[in-house]
Structure 1
Amino acid sequence: MLKRNLNDLLAFVTVARKGTFTRAAATLGVTQSALSQAIRGLEERLQIRLLTRTTRSIALTPAGERLMQTIGHRFEEIEAELDALTELRDKPAGTVRITCGDNVLRTTLLPKLTPLLRDYPDIKFEFDMNYGFRDIVADRFDAGVRLGNTIDKDMIAVPIGPPLRMAVVASPTYFAGHPTPKTPEDLMEHNCINQRMPTSGGLYVWDFERRGRKVNVRVDGSLIFNTVPPQVDAALAGLGIILLPEDELMEHIEAGHLVRVLEDWCPKFAGYHLYYPSRRQPSPAFSLVVQALRYRALSR
């Protein structure tokens, strides 16, 4: 009976965290019907409703909220302790789950973690490619990667790359038919390629600063994307101006395929950081990941 209760409690916690039976079932590797049966059995034994179900989503009842607050963190503590047990192994082991963007994965994470994979074959990685601000605690990630100025204060943030700058670029073909913008306000007269923000749903506001003067510009144009690669492709095709971190564009700028403008309006800012909860004890495998990814500026 104890084993059944623990399984059903884990099912409840997972559904509460994921918000839907579909995502929870995928996380646990069970069918939705089996998951629904487990929750229903738990509610019958407790003789109280824990979840309010609709056709599109679920919500916790007051009893469900109380149960989640009581036991939710317990499963995290159990998982953390199981991870810590790998200290007793000859070599660190386990799966490290990281949510990040595709460019930083390609340019930073994979190159730096490749030696780790060779030296510690019992360590595995799962990468979640996502442009939104994932809740790494609720979504069960060990860490995430964001630009340094977007990380919550209660997280530990470790720099994994140098400071960055934004870059305003378009193709030579585009500028052959349009005047070069001299100030951020000039962009309002251009066809700019917009980005839909995955978290807020709004369009990204282009921010600039020069000698203490800050300017926010809401640009307009014929194209809107919610990921980076198609923005770059559209700019290369001469369809408009884009604003992205320079590391996403440098190879095209250096090759002459994109022309940079308003460079003096783009100051440096904190680059990519690995972030993770401060209250969780890192496993030996995760500690190796942090050590491998940490950015160390070259001394002159």
Structure 2
Amino acid sequence: MDDSKHFNDLYAFVQVAKLGSFTQAATVLNVQPSALSHRINSLEKRLKIKLLNRTTRSVSTTQAGQQLLERTAPMFTSIQQELSALADYTDRMSGRIRINCPERPAFELIYPKINGFLATNPDLKLEVFINNLYCDIVAERFDFGVRSGKDVAQDMIAVQISDENTMAVVAAPPYITEFGEPKNTKDLINHRCIVVSFNPEYRLSEWEFMEQKQLNKIRVPENLIFNSQALVKQSVIDGLGIAWLPRTTVQADIQAGRLVEMLKKSAITYPPMYLYYPTNKHKTPAMIAFIALLRWEQS
């Protein structure tokens, strides 16, 4: 048996199984979908076992295919990590850094800093995957994750990349002119509220405040829902309702008069954001430089 062909086809299978699509896997592998399908068929014939269930709409692994995926995918990941580690012996940083990050820190903490970083290191590739849900960065093969300090697992190394995060209740002047300001936090239930949804089952409609040193939670009406914080902010600017957003996200709009902050005395402050990674992960020079780039320094 031609071992090189066997391993190449096995890698192709891993890509198809992980992505659940011949078309997407073909793009990653830079081959035609028909050629990729032929390679998988050839692999199944040589192994004498069916690895994938195919329909016109989806691709899924058989029981044998799932077992093969779970046992071989980590091996290819290890090989890729070792190849990336060879960058330690070069003068120029190269390779790929993959970051799993919620929307706000991706826009506010990472994106503003990467222009100069990539200009200085043109051989480096960055992948920022925006994900507002919790993710197992080891299982999903990310180099870094970004979360609030209270949400980082204890077996991870965490590097602070922001100051504390204070929330703000905001509305546009036209909305306030028409509907008025909430008199207190309880009065929010009488207003049109815009909330962010992290997934179809969970919406951030329970807003938190600190009043008389006590945590106070107010469940607000879900008049408008987006799974994008950027759209929540834009809809507030457009006068569609009231929103509860990080102050850093809306500070420039408050200063410019596009938004007005309300109930400021009751604003709650959350812990800083952290960049985190496994304690046993080999850090390439590129990863070390990226950590230094994002590390928060108190001014």
Secondary structure (helix, strand or coil) at the match of 1:95 reads strand
Report whether the alignment pairs 1:208 with 2:208. yes
Q: Give unpaired runs (5+ residues) of structure 2.
A: none
- Structure 1 residues 54, 171: CA separation in 2 closer, same or farther (over 3 Å shift)? same
- Structure 1 residues 60, 132: CA separation in 2 closer, same or farther (over 3 Å shift)? same
Secondary structure (helix, strand or coil) at the match of 2:4 reads helix
Report whether the alignment pairs 1:94 with 2:95. yes
Q: Is the 8 A contact 1:12 1:39 kept in 2?
A: yes
In 1: Cα distance, 2:201 partner to 2:56 partner: 23
Q: Is the 8 A contact 2:166 2:268 kept in 1?
A: yes
In 2: Cα distance, 1:27 partner to 1:140 partner: 16
In 2: Cα distance, 1:7 partner to 1:167 partner: 53
In 1: Cα distance, 2:99 partner to 2:27 partner: 18
Q: Is the 8 A contact 1:87 1:284 kept in 2?
A: yes
What does the per-residue CA deviation read over 1:200-219, in whole Å, with 9 as the maximum and x for residues that have no partner? 44432233132233314142
- Structure 1 residues 139, 38: CA separation in 2 closer, same or farther (over 3 Å shift)? farther
- Structure 1 residues 278, 34: CA separation in 2 closer, same or farther (over 3 Å shift)? farther
Q: Is the 8 A contact 1:195 1:224 kept in 2?
A: yes
- Structure 1 residues 3, 148: CA separation in 2 closer, same or farther (over 3 Å shift)? same
What is the CA distance between 1:67 and its match in structure 2?
1.5
- Structure 1 residues 246, 135: CA separation in 2 closer, same or farther (over 3 Å shift)? same
In 1: Cα distance, 2:156 partner to 2:46 partner: 38
What is the CA distance between 1:258 and its match in structure 2?
1.0
In 1: Cα distance, 2:32 partner to 2:283 partner: 32
Residue identity over aligned pairs, in percent, reads 37
Secondary structure (helix, strand or coil) at the match of 2:40 reads helix
Q: Is the 8 A contact 2:205 2:222 kept in 1?
A: no
Which runs of structure 2 are paired with 1:95-114 in the superposition (5 Å)? Answer: 95-100=96-101, 103-114=104-115
Partner of 2:39: 38
- Structure 1 residues 153, 219: CA separation in 2 closer, same or farther (over 3 Å shift)? farther
In 2: Cα distance, 1:184 partner to 1:23 partner: 48
In 2: Cα distance, 1:4 partner to 1:171 partner: 62
In 1: Cα distance, 2:265 partner to 2:25 partner: 48
Structure 1 counterpart of 2:31, one-letter code: V
* Alignment coverage as a number of residue pairs: 296
- Structure 1 residues 271, 69: CA separation in 2 closer, same or farther (over 3 Å shift)? same
Give the structure-2-normalised TM-score: 0.86
Secondary structure (helix, strand or coil) at the match of 1:247 reads helix
Secondary structure (helix, strand or coil) at the match of 1:177 reads helix
Q: Is the 8 A contact 1:15 1:21 kept in 2?
A: yes
- Structure 1 residues 114, 204: CA separation in 2 closer, same or farther (over 3 Å shift)? same
- Structure 1 residues 148, 19: CA separation in 2 closer, same or farther (over 3 Å shift)? farther
In 2: Cα distance, 1:184 partner to 1:81 partner: 54
Q: Is the 8 A contact 2:87 2:284 kept in 1?
A: yes
Partner of 1:124: 125
Which runs of structure 2 are paired with 1:1-300 in the superposition (5 Å)? Answer: 1-100=2-101, 103-131=104-132, 133=134, 136-137=137-138, 139-151=140-152, 155-197=156-198, 199-210=199-210, 211-221=213-223, 223-298=224-299
Structure 1 counterpart of 2:264, one-letter code: E
Structure 1 counterpart of 2:38, one-letter code: Q
Secondary structure (helix, strand or coil) at the match of 2:179 reads coil
- Structure 1 residues 297, 150: CA separation in 2 closer, same or farther (over 3 Å shift)? same
What is the CA distance between 1:236 and its match in structure 2?
1.6
What does the per-residue CA deviation read over 1:173-222, in whole Å, with 9 as the maximum and x for residues that have no partner? 2112223224333222111123232x34443223313223331414232x
- Structure 1 residues 11, 264: CA separation in 2 closer, same or farther (over 3 Å shift)? farther
Q: Give unpaired runs (5+ residues) of structure 1.
A: none
Q: Is the 8 A contact 2:163 2:272 kept in 1?
A: yes
Structure 2 counterpart of 1:208, one-letter code: E
In 2: Cα distance, 1:51 partner to 1:279 partner: 34
In 2: Cα distance, 1:68 partner to 1:151 partner: 28
Higher mean Cα deviation, 247-256 or 120-129?
Answer: 120-129
What is the CA distance between 1:100 and its match in structure 2?
3.8
In 1: Cα distance, 2:249 partner to 2:228 partner: 12
Q: Is the 8 A contact 1:165 1:246 kept in 2?
A: yes
What is the CA distance between 1:101 and its match in structure 2?
5.3
What is the CA distance between 1:296 and its match in structure 2?
2.2
Structure 2 counterpart of 1:64, one-letter code: G
In 1: Cα distance, 2:32 partner to 2:150 partner: 40
Secondary structure (helix, strand or coil) at the match of 1:273 reads strand
